[in-house]
Structure formats: C-alpha cells, structure tokens
Structure 1
Amino acid sequence: MDLFLWGVLPYIMVAVLVGGTIWRYRYDQFGWTTRSSQLYESRLLRIGSPLFHFGILVVIIGHVIGLVIPKAWTDFFGISDEMYHLAALGLGTVAGIATLVGVGILIYRRRTTGPVFMATTKNDKTMYVVLVAAIVAGLATTVLGVIGPHQELTYRDTVSPWFRSLFVFQPNIAAMSEASLDYQIHTVIGMVLFMIWPFTRLVHAFTAPVHYLFRPYIIYRSRDGRPTTARGIRRGWAPVGTTDRTPDRKATTTGKTGGTRR
C-alpha cells in the first residue's frame, strides 16, 4: 500500500492532471469556464469569492515554502524551528479559516439561491466535497502539527523530502510512510483533488486573466471626434501582446461639385 500511495499514485495524478488538461483544452474549450452565476446573485458572492481566492492564494504559497524549501536552508538563515512553526501556525490558520469560510459562503449561496442551485451539476457537487475535505484536512494538520502531541518527526522531515524526491523520480517512500496519519490523509485528498481538477470548473485557474493587468486603457471618444474633456485625450498605454488594429484614415479630397470623396 505504501508503494502504491507514495510511489505510484503521485505519477498517476500528474499524468491525469496534465493529460486531462490537454484533453479539456482541445475538445472542450467552450466549457473551459467558471460558469459564473453573478447575474443570479452578487451580495454573497462579493463576500465569499474574495475570502476564498485570497485565502487559497496564501495557502498555495505556504505549501510551496513548506514543501520546496529544505529545512537546512532555514537553519542556515538562522530561522529556528519555533519561529518557523509559529509563522506557519499564524499564517496557515488565518489563511485556512478564510478559505474555509469563503467556500462555505459560496456553498451556502449555491444551495439557497434558486437559479444558482439549478445551475449546479453533479460534477460541481463532487468538486466541492473534495475541495472542502482538502481544506479541512490541511487546516487540521496545521493546527495539530504545532499544538498537538509532540512528534519527533514533522512534515519537514517526512512529507517535504518525499515531495522533492518525486521530481528526480526516486520517491522516498520510507519518509512518507513515517509521516503522521493526518498528513497522509491530507496528501491523499490533495492528489484526488488534482486528479479531478481538469474535469471541473477549477480548470479556469490555469487561464487566469493576467493579461488584463497590462492591457491598454479603453479610450472613449465623442461622436464628432472632439475630446471628451477640456484637457484633451491622454495617451493610453501601449498594447502588450496585441497588434494595433486601428484602421488607417484615408485622406479626404474635394471634388468639383463641392462634395467630399474618400
């Protein structure tokens, strides 16, 4: 079982995640969307969506720091285990609670708002169950890993070395098998979440509209072409990653009859 969970399942998860994403992009581009329901209800969405998205962003950053950065590096910079675990407890708990509250509001909104509930598919329900299970398990491991019973081995001695060993195709199965049960459960749920990721609305995370941060201003002009303000029209940002599609204006000449010809 340890060989399958910690030596085989991670690579199955990567194959399904990558292959499923490619398949979804090639054959279901019109379904590559969050299926936004903002038109049906926006009051709860304005509260739950920022809580969930900002919380999950901090959670992802915390996972990257905890799994990728070796313990020897933090020791080299003089960061003690107490300081590290205190920061992990503070930021991890706040981010986990924000994420859990946010997704709870979104689920409550989806369950109690008629049109939103009607637009909810079985696929969405499965995704929410796995997502909430991953968040709850992660929050539990954060709290228990610091204030729970004393453990000689932490995730920095077990889960992190195992995670890094996967990239060199030499999975450290022994290290992961020594991890506590809560970390093992959280890891398995996380792998299940990534396996269903390409086939749910979560796939929209791979196409975040980062380009919007760098696109030029939208310039509005009056019908007669005169500036809309007394100061004139300010030069907008130069387009980034796009081509100039502004049509050329051809010169106007006057004919013998006094009319205009373009």
Structure 2
Amino acid sequence: MNSLANFLWVAYPWLAIVAFVLGMSWRWRTDQFGWTTHSTQIYESKLLRISSPLFHWGMMFVILGHVMGLAFPKSWTRAVGISDAAYHLIATIPGTIAGIAAVLGLVGLIYRRVRHRSVFLSTSKSDKVMYVLLALAILSGFIATVSTQVFGGPHGYDYRETISPWLRQLLIFNAHPEWMADVPWQFKVHVLSGFTLLAVWPFTRLVHVFSAPVGYTTRPYVVYRSRDTRTGPTRQHVAWEPVRSNKKQVHEPNDEGQWYGA
C-alpha cells in the first residue's frame, strides 16, 4: 500500500478520533454554558416544527443502521438465522426511508436558515462549516446507499466484507488499509466525510447530541404563580418612589398648634 492509502485509511481516521476525544474534553471543561443547540426557534418555528423532527428521527434510524452494519459481523447475523439476502433487504429498505427523511429534514433546516434573515444572521461561522460537512456526510451516504444497494443488483455491495472489518480492526489498532482498496468511491467519500465531521464535532453545536435531558426526571418542580389581576391584588415593585407630602400633615396643626412645613 502507498503512503496516501496509509494516510487515508489509517492515520486520518485516528487523527479524527483523537481530535474528537480531546475536543470534547476541552469543550466540556471550558464552555459548558455553550453546550447547547443554540436554538433559533424564537425567530421562526413553522419550518423548524416540520424539518427538525424529520431530520432527527431520520438520523436516529440511520445511526442505528450504521451500528448494526459496522459493529456486528456477518457471522453473527447468520448465527441467529438471518440470511445475507434477508439482511440486505432489512438494511436497505428501512435505511433508504430513513435516509430520505434525514435528507429532507436537512434540506428544510438549511432552507430555513437561508430564507429567513433573522435565522441567517444568528448563524455562526462554526454553524456554516458544520452544515457543509453534515450535508456532505449525509448526502454521500445516501448516494452510496441508493447507487450500490438499491440499484446495485439483487444483493448490492457487501460492505460487511470490507468496510466493517476494516473499521473494527482499526479501532483495536490492527489496521488493514488494503481492505479499502476496492471499496466503491461512494463509500470512500462517505467514510472520509464522516471522519471529517467527527473531527470538528466538538467545536460546533453538535455537542448537544451528548446532552440527554436525564435530569428532568429528578429535578424539583417549578412553581408558577399567576399574574392575573382577577386572582388577587398585585403590587408593582419599583426601584424608588417619589416623596409626596401627606395632605393630613399639611392641613392639620401639630400638638403645639403649629402647622407642618411652617
């Protein structure tokens, strides 16, 4: 294998993983207040209400499909009685539907940011870079699935013979870059774009993926008090009040027969 192949399929993935791990640690230590989605819902909610669930639910099933395809060897699915043909259908049909949902949701989110000026002005440089890399990773994966799995013949391309074992061995420091030599270019672009997105992940709003709201189940209740005037008298708190003379003091003499203010 030449040096370029060693860099692309050994060094670059590991550099991306190291950047992800160190970056997440640095972000958590230095920017916990910025560990949010930076929501722009207050600027526009109609498109967001449609595109966001479509994108997030689509991505959940896409990620689940990646875990099943990359982490579980072919021998495992055969051992539980799932043939290669059945696995191909199980992976391709739901995966394509989930990919369509993720792509449509992402297009809607990007269109929303470009179309509405208030949302566009609140988009940071890191957001723009994130959207470009996220779109590249999702679109390349969708193109790879459609071109090689849907229209690639009855069995499609068997990535579990090349990409899956390459990744598993890479993660245990037993790299085999030669296994990626004959992989279709669509999958190669998808793999590289995926690791690039992983490298910049800690420096974008994508960190909110690791902030599951588990604390909601144990946090104390929030007590809301009505401001409706019909429920009782309200008092306006002001920082200062002007000094006014008491009419009773002005118009009535004191005990010595003198008038106040005289």
1:39 to 16, 37, 42: 42
Is the Cα contact below 8 Å between 1:44 and 1:106 reproduced in 2?
Answer: yes
Residue identity opposite 2:69 in structure 1: G
User: Mapping of 1:57-206 within 5 angstroms?
Assistant: 57-150=60-153, 154-206=158-210
Larger Rg: 2
Residue identity opposite 1:11 in structure 2: W
Is the Cα contact below 8 Å between 1:137 and 1:182 reproduced in 2?
Answer: yes
Which secondary structure state, in structure 2, belongs to the residue aligned with residue 124 of structure 1?
helix
Report how far residue 111 of structure 1 moved: 1.0
| Structure 2 Cα separation of the partners of residues 155 and 33 of structure 1 | 35
Q: For each residue in 1:140-184, what CA deviation from the matched residue of structure 2 results, as whole angstroms up to 9, or x when unmatched?
A: 121222233458962110000001102210012121222111111
| Structure 1 Cα separation of the partners of residues 133 and 224 of structure 2 | 50
Which secondary structure state, in structure 1, belongs to the residue aligned with residue 42 of structure 2?
coil
- Structure 2 CA distance for partners of 1:170 and 1:56, relative to 1, 3 Å: same
1:15 partnered with 2:18: yes
Q: For each residue in 1:117-150, what CA deviation from the matched residue of structure 2 results, as whole angstroms up to 9, or x when unmatched?
A: 1101222111111111111111112122223345
- Structure 2 CA distance for partners of 1:210 and 1:141, relative to 1, 3 Å: farther
Higher relative contact order (CA 8 A, sep 6+): 2
Which secondary structure state, in structure 2, belongs to the residue aligned with residue 31 of structure 1?
coil
| Structure 2 Cα separation of the partners of residues 54 and 207 of structure 1 | 17
| Structure 2 Cα separation of the partners of residues 221 and 208 of structure 1 | 25
Residue identity opposite 1:21 in structure 2: M
Is the Cα contact below 8 Å between 1:3 and 1:173 reproduced in 2?
Answer: yes
Structure 1 equivalent of residue 211 of structure 2? 207
Q: Which ranges of structure 2 fall in alignment gaps of 5 or more residues?
A: 227-262
Is the Cα contact below 8 Å between 2:149 and 2:157 reproduced in 1?
Answer: no
Is the Cα contact below 8 Å between 1:145 and 1:154 reproduced in 2?
Answer: no
Structure 1 equivalent of residue 6 of structure 2? 3
| Structure 2 Cα separation of the partners of residues 155 and 148 of structure 1 | 15
| Structure 2 Cα separation of the partners of residues 11 and 105 of structure 1 | 33
Q: Which ranges of structure 1 fall in alignment gaps of 5 or more residues?
A: 224-262
Is the Cα contact below 8 Å between 1:88 and 1:142 reproduced in 2?
Answer: no
| Structure 2 Cα separation of the partners of residues 83 and 201 of structure 1 | 38
- Structure 2 CA distance for partners of 1:149 and 1:50, relative to 1, 3 Å: closer
Report how far residue 216 of structure 1 moved: 5.8
| Structure 2 Cα separation of the partners of residues 118 and 179 of structure 1 | 41
The normalised TM-score by structure 2 is 0.79
- Structure 2 CA distance for partners of 1:54 and 1:149, relative to 1, 3 Å: closer
2:52 to 40, 49, 53: 49
Report how far residue 79 of structure 1 moved: 1.1
- Structure 2 CA distance for partners of 1:152 and 1:25, relative to 1, 3 Å: closer
CA RMSD of aligned residues (A): 2.0
| Structure 2 Cα separation of the partners of residues 100 and 152 of structure 1 | 22
Is the Cα contact below 8 Å between 2:27 and 2:203 reproduced in 1?
Answer: yes
